[in-house]
Structure formats: C-alpha cells, structure tokens
C-alpha cells in the first residue's frame, strides 16, 4: 500500500500527535554544546535516555493505534486480519530502531523518508511468516511514519540553525578540497592546451617530409622537406560540374589546398600518385604551424588536424574508431586528456582528413560511409576532407551528406617545371647540378614529358635522374619499367596496403593482362573502350596466366582497374589508360610478343604509331630489332612520295637509339641514309625536314659541329617544330655570332610561348646589328620585364599604342621600324633627345604619313615610308626621305 493511500485512511491530524510522542521537546538555540557537537537521533527520541517519557511497551501501543486506525474505512483490509499482531510488533520494532541509528537529524533529513525507512527496517529484526500484503503494508506504513518524523526534525528551531552551521562547514571543507585539487592539478582547459601544443608539434614533424615509395635509390635521400618540395595543384568540379556522365562542360578550378576554405566538406578524387596523400600532409602541416602559414592557408588557423588513413585504421579488420580512439588507431604515440578529441570536435575546431576510401576493401566502404555520417551528425562546424581514386566510389557518393566533389587535375608544363625546381632544392645543394639538364630533358624527350603529369611520376623521374648522376635511360624501356614496377606492385607493398581487393598479383601477370587491353586499343586506333569489352578481354586472358587463374576473372579485372594505377574510367561504362604513353609501351610489348611486324610497318606512316614502333624496337631482341629496322627501310624505298620516304628514314633513325643491340650492317645503313638528309642543305630542305616532327630534333647536330650555313638551316628546321621540345636545341645557338642565325631566332619568337622563349633565347642573344621584331603585346611585355633595350627595333601593327610608347621610352632605339595598318597613321611622339637615326614605316599605303612630329629629333638621318607623306618640308635638310 502506497503512503498516499494510507494517508487517505489515516489523516495527518490524527497520526501527527501520536508520532510526536516518539520525540522529546527542545528549547531554543542551536542545540550545540560545542562547535562540532552532533544532535544524535538517540538523543531526540523519548523512549531512550535518562529522561525518557515512553517505554518500549508504550511504543508498541502507539504502533497498535496506528495500525488500528489505518484499517478503518470501507474497502478491502490492507493485510489479513490474523496477522495484525505480527504487523503491529514489526512496526513497533521499526519505530524503536530510530534510537539505534548512528546518525544525527541533519543526516536523517538528507537521506529522505524512503531511505530513512529502509535504514529502520534494516536495523530492526526481520519479521517472520508475514504475507506479501503485510510486508508491503509494513514498508509503506514505515515510510509514512518517517515523513512525519522528518517534518518534526525540520520544524524544530534548533534544526534550522544547526543546518546552516552544517552547510557552512561542508561548503568550507569543499572549497578547501577544491583549492587543493586546483593547486595540485592544472585545470582541464590548461591540460588540453598543453597537449594540443605537443600534438601539433608531433604532426608537424611526422608529416613535414615527403617520401617516394618504390624507387631504388643509391645516391638520393629517402625523404624531402615538405615545405620546400610541395606544389599546390588545381582541383576541378564543384559548381559547374557536368550534370550527367559524359556531358562535357568546362569546370571551374580551385587550388586544391584552398578547397576547404570554400567548402566545409570535400570528397577529392585523384589518380594514383596525383598528390592526394601529399595534400593531406600539407593541410596537416599548415594547420599545425605555430608561426606564419603559407600563402592562403591562414583559414586553417586554430584547426586541429586528425589524419585518418583508412588503410591503417582497418588493417586487421578493426571497426572504424570513435573520436576518443582517433589518435591511437592512427598510430599516434601521444595519449590525450580524457575526452579531449570530443571537446575539440564539439567546439567545431577539427580538421578531419580521411585518406584513401579506395584503400579499404569494397565491402567495407558502405560501413565507412555510415561511420562518417555518424561523426557528421554528432559534430557540426568542423572541416572534412575525404580522398579516393576516381573509380572507387560512385558519383555523388557523399553528396547527400553535403560533400562537394572535386578532382585533382593533371600537372601543366609550368607546374612540372616548378615541381622539378622545388624537388632539387629540397634534395639538397648537391642536387642543383641536375636540375637544368632534367628540365631540358622534359622539353626535348617527349616520352619523359608524357609521364610527368602528376607528383608521383615527377618525383620518380627526378629521383631516377639524380640517382643515375644526371642521365635518364636513353631508351624508354627502363624508364617505363621503373614506373610500371612502382605503380603495379611496389608502391602498395611498401605502403603496407595489404589486399584491399582481396587478391595478390605480382607485377608480371598484371602486365600480361593489361597489355592485352593496350594491344586491342592500339590495333583499333582507339584510346578508350567499353568497360564490358575490357572485362571480357581480361576474362578471356585470365586462364592463360597461372597466377591470375586462381581468382575469379571479374575480381581480377576489378583489381586491375582500381589498384594498378594504369587504368581509369572516364565514364561509368568506358575504360582508358591514365597516360597514352603507357598504352603505347604495353601495346609495343604485346606486338613484339605476337611478332606482328607487318602491323607495325603498315602503320609506320601514321604519327599515332611513331612511339609504338620506337618502343617495339626497344622491346625486341637483336634479330627482331634488325627485322623491324630493315622493314622500315624497305618501306621507305618503296614509297613514291618523297615526304613519306623521309619520314620512314627518320623513324628508323630515331628508333635506332631505343635498340639494345643491332647488327652493325643495319646500323650503318640507317646512319648512311640519315646523313643524306641531315643536316639540311637549303632553307627548303630545312622546312621539309621539319615536317617529320619532333623526332628530327634528336638527329640534328649541335652548333659546335656545324658551319654557319648548316647552323642557319638547322635552326630553320628547329624553329618550324613548334613545340617546347625545340627550345633547348635552339638555346644552344644563342651564342652563335652569325647574324642570319640570330635573325632567324628572333623572328621565330611568335611560334613559341612568349615568356619561355624570351627567357631561354631572346635574353641571351647578342644584340649587335640585330633587329628585334616585336609582333604583339606579349612580346613587348617580355622585353620590358627583362629590361632588354635593343637599339634596332621593329614594332608591328599588332602591338598596342601604349606598349609601343613604353618600348620606345625604354629602348630609345637608333633604328626603328613601324608597321602601319592603312588609313591615317600618326607617328608616336618621341622627345627631341631621342637617339633615333633611321626610321622605316612600312605596311599598307593608305593616307599620307605626317612627318612633322619628327622635325625636333636632333639625330634623325633617314626616313623610309611605304606610301605617301606630308610635312616633309618641316624636316631639317640633313634628313633624307625615301618613298616606296
């Protein structure tokens, strides 16, 4: 029976006076004899002590009265009638236990009526043989009695005063203890700050260096400082991304390391080696910096990085960690204060970097997304970066969670050059000597430049170049084999990747399978194929490759697609090689393995097959190599078109450098035929030779081997091969004194990138008697930027008036040519002190040119004009005017 139900049967007005008899009355005051005196319950009950007014028999009568009155009323009795005596005895025993409890009144009140009732029942003898109803009645009746007893305690005047004293004493003790705790232990905030400093310093050391995996180096360091070697790349996507697969639209780009400044949550895709993990390192180090941060990275100030490489977190099948296990799961040796990670994330200060969705098995990626969503739901305001290879997860995989999808773009030529310079700076002072030769190789060796499109491959090339003391393999085979080894096996193995796709394949069987795809693509003149067809080619080939035949063919194909680093899916249903050069290399190997020499020769005049043919010579054994070269020469003899003959002869000559062993007779025949056309003997031959393309550059002799006439013709050839590969060759001629050679070099400026050509060639030319022809504003700006002041200047009509004025004020030329575009032509104003002696105005005739502004020029001697003039009478007699 609940106390409230008993209260309906036994009113407080009736029970109160009865229970009050259990307690003694007390006079005013705090009831304290001394400062620390306690008012024990045994001193408050009336049935104990020398001045007791009740006996234990009286207490039993009081209990009997309470029981009798609570049984009155309508309804069912609270317990069986035959147990009334036993219940009364038990209730009396509970009330008498008030005198046995070792506590004071304040402690009793603090307990509350239910806990006090439990203490009484525990102190009293346990009743025997009572029914369940009787036991329940006894419990509730005791609680009801305790309610009144505690009310008596709190209404006594001494209790209030004593409670205040007790509270004051307790508060003083608590304050003293807290002061001691504070004195001995720094507050949580200070502990957090101290740990955070240690943690950020640890991250800066751990992630402050770059490592290239899978490269055999004997003379190069294993690691490089990140802050000097890092190059920020561009990422595309986000706003303006294609609305559907296959739809082409120019996508906006953003510096990859600034993506999180625009978007709180980013899913960044990138091919193997494109720089995803390096970007994670850079963001970590930038956030951990204690001083000035790199340009644009101030937005990470106050952010605490959590680097979570999924390949490490799930290496042994573990569950992805909760925030309190972030550090230990990622291998951090530091132990944070309890709850520190949660406090950082709850405050929205976290920089959560989840690296490598593609590096965990496909079956675990759904759970990884759920884990990430739980974190996002729990902690708002943080910044999140998730990285993946392009094909590991579908489009919009995290879009419902507010993630912006971006893709790392391939490196442009300017970025490659910057990377090479930074790499050599980071590698130490002894590496500087190798920097420029490698930059030259990247422009002249197209096969090297085609590989250098991401940081991994650029780093590989830099390391191989330095390790070989400044020499890359002359043939492409060694370079490509090093790259294939890096991508197919060593990189994953040395990063302790395990088996994210569930199978293990060595390098050789992977090459055997992937080259089947390269063979089909090249043979069919394509660079892309249907995904289903690619899968069928691999499925057909797997039984013939023992190591691969142990696995299901579809699993093998998935492994090649996602882990090889050689293939990608530009759309959901197509497959292509990440670099055309890998396709050519593996197709050449397949062609030699199949001994399809006829196929090679039939495609020899197709410029898309040039690299394949040269690489096939590199893969071929001596007898096979001789046959390929012999067939090329025979095809040249059979060709009726002179340009075809020339092209096939030069192709054989450039392929010769790729051969490891060639019979002397074949080598001599190829060289003899090459000498018939190189060096060119006339400007016409020079231009015809240039039609063979960049491969000619490998055959042209250097300036030290040529006469002035041969040098002039060779420069004509090179200046008509309008790729960056020609620049290092042309730069070898800048010290040549021949005016013809120098004039050809300056005239050809417009065919190349204005800045590169200006820095490598124009700036180093001897200006003596050389007319610097300026054909557009870009060239004008380069002359101004480099501070070049030629005395012989020719400015064409495509140069704007303001750039013309700036050039004239800077150069103050002695000889000046100006091109007019027709109509009325106004000569630019020049001060009387100008050095101009000879002026030539050429171009379209049109209206007359007014010569009156030239009257004040004190050094002017001759004026030649194409067309008519006016104001010639204003010129001094010494000035000779000639009209054409």
Per residue in 222-280, pLDDT (tens digit) is: 566 777 667 788 888 854 333 333 333 445 678 899 999 999 999 998 876 688 888 99
CA 715/CA 446 separation, integer angstroms: 20
Neighbours of 546 (CB within 10 A): 9
pLDDT tier, 150 (very low <50, low <70, confident <90, very high otherwise): confident
| Residue 57 structure tokens | 């028999």
Nearest alpha-carbon partner for 15 in 129, 134, 107, 144: 144
Mean pLDDT of 465-486: 74
| CA 361 to centroid of chain Cα atoms | 21
Does residue 57 fall inside a structural domain? yes
Query: The domain that contains 258 carries what CATH number?
Result: 3.40.50.300
Cα separations in angstroms, 393 against 223, 375, 553:
31, 20, 21
Contact 227, 208 (CB under 8 A): yes
Higher pLDDT, 531 or 848: 531
Bridging pattern class, strands 815-820 and 838-843: parallel
On whether both 376 and 511 belong to a single domain, the answer is no
pLDDT tier, 37 (very low <50, low <70, confident <90, very high otherwise): low
| DSSP for 191-208, written as a single string | HHHHHHHHHHHHHHHHSS
Q: Is 99 exposed, middle or buried (0-12, 13-18, 19+ CB in 10 A)?
A: buried
Residue found by looking up tokens 């575009």 in the block = 821
119-128, 477-486, 704-713: range with highest mean pLDDT: 704-713
| Residue 598 structure tokens | 């006829």
Decide if pLDDT at 14 tops 70: no
Query: The domain that contains 560 carries what CATH number?
Result: 1.10.10
Number of domains comprising the chain: 4
Decide if pLDDT at 157 tops 80: no
| CA 752 to centroid of chain Cα atoms | 33
For residue 40, the model assigns a pLDDT of: 77
On whether both 40 and 71 belong to a single domain, the answer is yes
Residue that finishes a domain, picked among 118, 142, 175? 175
| Residue 210 structure tokens | 């770059």
For residue 583, the model assigns a pLDDT of: 86
Decide if pLDDT at 491 tops 80: no
**Residue 232, phi-psi category: left (phi > 0), alpha (psi -120 to 50), beta (remainder):** beta
Does residue 63 fall inside a structural domain? yes
On whether both 52 and 101 belong to a single domain, the answer is yes
On whether both 138 and 215 belong to a single domain, the answer is no
- Find out whether the peptide bond into 679 is cis, omega within 30 degrees of 0: yes
For residue 723, the model assigns a pLDDT of: 79
Helix axis angle, 580-594 to 476-485, nearest 10°:
110
Q: 132-141, 257-266, 568-577: lowest mean pLDDT where?
A: 568-577
On whether both 157 and 285 belong to a single domain, the answer is no
On whether both 381 and 264 belong to a single domain, the answer is yes
Does residue 459 fall inside a structural domain? no
**Residue 66, phi-psi category: left (phi > 0), alpha (psi -120 to 50), beta (remainder):** alpha
Higher pLDDT, 486 or 494: 486
Give the three-class secondary structure for 319: coil
DSSP 490: I
pTM of structure: 0.51
Contact 334, 198 (CB under 8 A): yes
Does residue 391 fall inside a structural domain? yes
For residue 525, the model assigns a pLDDT of: 81
CA 275/CA 279 separation, integer angstroms: 6
The half-sphere exposure of 682 on its side-chain side, counting CA atoms within 13 A, is 3
pLDDT tier, 75 (very low <50, low <70, confident <90, very high otherwise): low
Decide if pLDDT at 492 tops 70: no
On whether both 379 and 262 belong to a single domain, the answer is yes
On whether both 361 and 394 belong to a single domain, the answer is yes
For residue 603, the model assigns a pLDDT of: 84
For residue 666, the model assigns a pLDDT of: 87
For residue 54, the model assigns a pLDDT of: 86
Nearest alpha-carbon partner for 725 in 461, 468, 439: 439
How confident is the model over 812-843, as pLDDT tens digits? 899 999 987 766 677 888 888 889 999 998 87
Bridging pattern class, strands 815-820 and 792-795: parallel
Decide if pLDDT at 743 tops 90: yes
On whether both 279 and 152 belong to a single domain, the answer is no
| Residue 654 structure tokens | 């450039």
For residue 757, the model assigns a pLDDT of: 92
CA 802/CA 468 separation, integer angstroms: 51
pLDDT tier, 376 (very low <50, low <70, confident <90, very high otherwise): very high
Residue that finishes a domain, picked among 410, 439, 466? 410
CA 320/CA 330 separation, integer angstroms: 10
Average pLDDT over the chain, rounded to an integer:
82
| CA 38 to centroid of chain Cα atoms | 70
On whether both 87 and 218 belong to a single domain, the answer is no
How confident is the model over 170-211, as pLDDT tens digits? 666 766 666 565 566 555 557 888 999 999 999 999 888 876
Decide if pLDDT at 473 tops 50: yes
Contact 76, 70 (CB under 8 A): no
| Residue 2 structure tokens | 């609940």
Contact 49, 42 (CB under 8 A): yes
Does residue 130 fall inside a structural domain? yes
**CB neighbours of 271 closer than 8 A, spacing ≥ 6?**
389, 390, 408, 454, 565, 568, 578
Residue found by looking up tokens 């040796």 in the block = 333
Residue found by looking up tokens 């309906």 in the block = 8
| Residue 561 structure tokens | 């697609």
Higher pLDDT, 441 or 265: 265
Decide if pLDDT at 742 tops 80: yes
Helix intervals (H) in 406-475? 413-427, 435-444, 446-451, 455-467
Could you give the percent of the chain with pLDDT greater than 70?
85
| CA 120 to centroid of chain Cα atoms | 69
DSSP 839: E
| DSSP for 234-274, written as a single string | EEEESTT--SSTT---PPPEEEGGGHHHH-SEEEEE--TTS
Does residue 627 fall inside a structural domain? no
How confident is the model over 380-409, as pLDDT tens digits? 999 999 998 776 788 889 999 999 999 888
Does residue 787 fall inside a structural domain? yes
For residue 190, the model assigns a pLDDT of: 76
CA 412/CA 534 separation, integer angstroms: 30
For residue 251, the model assigns a pLDDT of: 52
On whether both 266 and 328 belong to a single domain, the answer is yes
Mean pLDDT of 21-33: 61
Mean pLDDT of 344-369: 88
The distance in angstroms from the start CA to the end CA of the chain is 129
Q: Is 191 exposed, middle or buried (0-12, 13-18, 19+ CB in 10 A)?
A: middle
Contact 716, 744 (CB under 8 A): yes
pLDDT tier, 214 (very low <50, low <70, confident <90, very high otherwise): very low
pLDDT tier, 565 (very low <50, low <70, confident <90, very high otherwise): confident
The H or E element that residue 407 is part of is: strand 404-408
Helix axis angle, 84-96 to 56-71, nearest 10°:
130
CA 727/CA 756 separation, integer angstroms: 8
For residue 657, the model assigns a pLDDT of: 75
CA 589/CA 477 separation, integer angstroms: 10
Decide if pLDDT at 453 tops 90: no
CA 643/CA 645 separation, integer angstroms: 5
Residue that finishes a domain, picked among 126, 144, 175? 175
Dihedral sign for Cα atoms in the order 643, 648, 653, 657: positive
Does residue 481 fall inside a structural domain? no
On whether both 202 and 132 belong to a single domain, the answer is no
Mean pLDDT of 126-143: 87
CA 19/CA 7 separation, integer angstroms: 14
For residue 343, the model assigns a pLDDT of: 94
Mean pLDDT of 2-27: 64
**Residue 763, phi-psi category: left (phi > 0), alpha (psi -120 to 50), beta (remainder):** alpha
Could you give the percent of the chain with pLDDT greater than 90?
26
pLDDT tier, 372 (very low <50, low <70, confident <90, very high otherwise): very high
Tell me the helix, strand and coil percentages in the chain, rounded to 5: 55, 10, 35
For residue 211, the model assigns a pLDDT of: 66
Sheet holding 528-530, edge to edge: 528-530, 574-577, 567-568
Boundaries of domain holding 205: 195-242+251-410
Neighbours of 713 (CB within 10 A): 26
């Amino acid at each position: 029976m609940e106390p409230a139900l008993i209260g309906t049967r036994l009113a407080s007005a009736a029970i109160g006076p009865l229970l009050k008899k259990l307690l003694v009355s007390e006079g005013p005051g705090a009831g304290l004899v001394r400062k620390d005196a306690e008012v024990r319950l045994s001193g408050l009950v009336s049935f104990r002590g020398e001045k007791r007014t009740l006996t234990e028999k009286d207490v039993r009568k009081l209990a009997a009265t309470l029981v009798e009155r609570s049984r009155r009323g309508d309804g069912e009795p609270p317990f069986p009638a035959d147990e009334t005596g036993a219940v009364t005895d038990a209730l009396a025993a509970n009330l008498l236990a008030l005198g046995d409890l070792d506590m004071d009144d304040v402690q009793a009140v603090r307990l509350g009526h239910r806990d006090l009732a439990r203490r009484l029942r525990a102190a009293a003898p346990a009743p025997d043989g009572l029914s369940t109803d009787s036991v329940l009645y006894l419990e509730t009746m005791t609680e009801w009695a305790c309610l009144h007893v505690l009310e008596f305690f709190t209404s006594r005047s001494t209790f209030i005063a004593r409670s205040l004293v007790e509270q004051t004493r307790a508060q003083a003790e608590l304050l003293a203890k807290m002061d001691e705790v504070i004195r001995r232990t720094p507050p949580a905030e200070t502990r957090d700050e101290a740990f955070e400093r240690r943690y950020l310093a640890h991250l800066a050391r751990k992630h402050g260096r770059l490592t290239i995996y899978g490269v055999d180096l004997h003379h190069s360091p294993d690691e490089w400082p990140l802050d000097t070697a890092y190059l920020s790349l561009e990422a595309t996507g986000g706003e303006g991304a294609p609305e559907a697969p296959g739809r082409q639209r120019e996508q906006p780009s953003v510096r990859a390391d600034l993506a999180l400044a625009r978007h709180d949550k980013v899913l960044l895709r990138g091919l193997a080696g494109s720089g995803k993990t390096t970007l994670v390192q850079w963001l970590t180090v930038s956030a951990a910096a204690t001083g000035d941060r790199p340009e644009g990275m101030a937005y990470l100030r106050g952010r605490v990085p959590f680097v979570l490489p999924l390949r490490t977190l799930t290496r042994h099948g573990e569950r992805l960690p909760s925030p309190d296990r972030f550090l230990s799961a990622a291998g951090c040796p530091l132990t944070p204060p309890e709850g520190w990670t949660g406090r950082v994330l709850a405050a929205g200060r976290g920089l959560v970097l989840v690296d490598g969705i593609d590096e965990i098995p496909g079956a675990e990626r759904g759970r990884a997304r759920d884990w990430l969503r739980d974190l996002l739901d729990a902690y708002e305001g943080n910044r999140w970066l998730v990285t993946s290879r392009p094909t590991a997860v579908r489009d919009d995989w995290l879009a419902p969670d507010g993630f912006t999808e971006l893709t790392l773009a391939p490196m442009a030529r300017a970025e490659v050059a910057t990377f090479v310079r930074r790499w050599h700076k980071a590698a130490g002072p002894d590496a500087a000597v190798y920097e420029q030769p490698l930059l030259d190789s990247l422009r002249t060796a197209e096969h090297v430049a085609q590989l250098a499109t991401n940081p991994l491959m650029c780093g590989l090339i830099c390391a191989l170049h330095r390790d070989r003391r400044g020499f890359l393999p002359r043939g492409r085979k060694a370079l490509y084999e090093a790259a294939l080894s890096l991508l197919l096996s060593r990189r994953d193995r040395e990063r302790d990747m395990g088996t994210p796709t569930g199978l293990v394949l060595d390098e050789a069987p992977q090459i055997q399978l992937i080259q089947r795809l390269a063979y089909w693509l090249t043979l069919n003149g394509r660079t892309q194929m249907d995904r289903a067809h690619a899968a069928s080619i691999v499925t057909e080939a797997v039984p013939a490759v023992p190591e691969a035949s142990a696995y299901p063919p579809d699993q093998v194909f998935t492994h090649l697609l996602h882990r090889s680093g050689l293939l990608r899916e530009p759309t959901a249903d197509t497959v292509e090689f990440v670099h055309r050069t890998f396709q050519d290399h593996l197709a050449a190997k397949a062609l030699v393995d199949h001994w399809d020499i006829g196929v090679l020769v039939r495609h020899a005049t197709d410029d898309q097959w040039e690299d394949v043919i040269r690489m096939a010579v590199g893969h071929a054994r001596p007898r096979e190599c001789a046959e390929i070269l012999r067939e090329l020469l025979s095809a040249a003899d059979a060709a009726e078109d002179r340009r075809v003959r020339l092209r096939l002869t030069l192709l054989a000559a450039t392929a010769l450098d790729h051969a490891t062993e060639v019979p002397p007779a074949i080598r001599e025949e190829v060289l003899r035929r090459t000498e018939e056309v190189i060096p060119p003997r006339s400007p016409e031959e020079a231009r015809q030779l240039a039609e063979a393309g960049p491969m000619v550059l490998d055959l042209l002799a250097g300036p030290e081997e040529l006469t002035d006439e041969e040098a002039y013709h060779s420069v004509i050839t090179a200046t008509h091969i309008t790729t960056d590969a020609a620049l290092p060759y042309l730069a070898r001629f800048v010290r040549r004194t021949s005016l013809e050679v120098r004039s050809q070099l300056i005239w050809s400026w417009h065919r190349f990138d204005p800045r590169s050509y200006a820095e490598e060639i124009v700036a180093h030319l001897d200006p003596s008697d050389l007319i610097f022809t300026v054909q557009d504003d870009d060239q004008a700006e380069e002359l101004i930027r480099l501070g070049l002041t030629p005395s012989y200047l020719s400015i064409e009509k495509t140069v704007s008036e303001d750039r013309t004025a700036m050039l004239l004020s800077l150069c103050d030329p002695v000889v000046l040519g100006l091109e007019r575009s027709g109509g009325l032509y106004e000569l630019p104003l020049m001060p009387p002190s100008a050095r101009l002696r000879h002026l030539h105005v050429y171009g379209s005739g049109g209206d007359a040119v007014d010569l009156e502004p030239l009257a004040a020029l004190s050094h002017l001697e001759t004026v030649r004009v194409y067309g008519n003039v006016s104001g010639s009478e204003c010129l001094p007699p010494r000035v000779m005017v000639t009209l054409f």
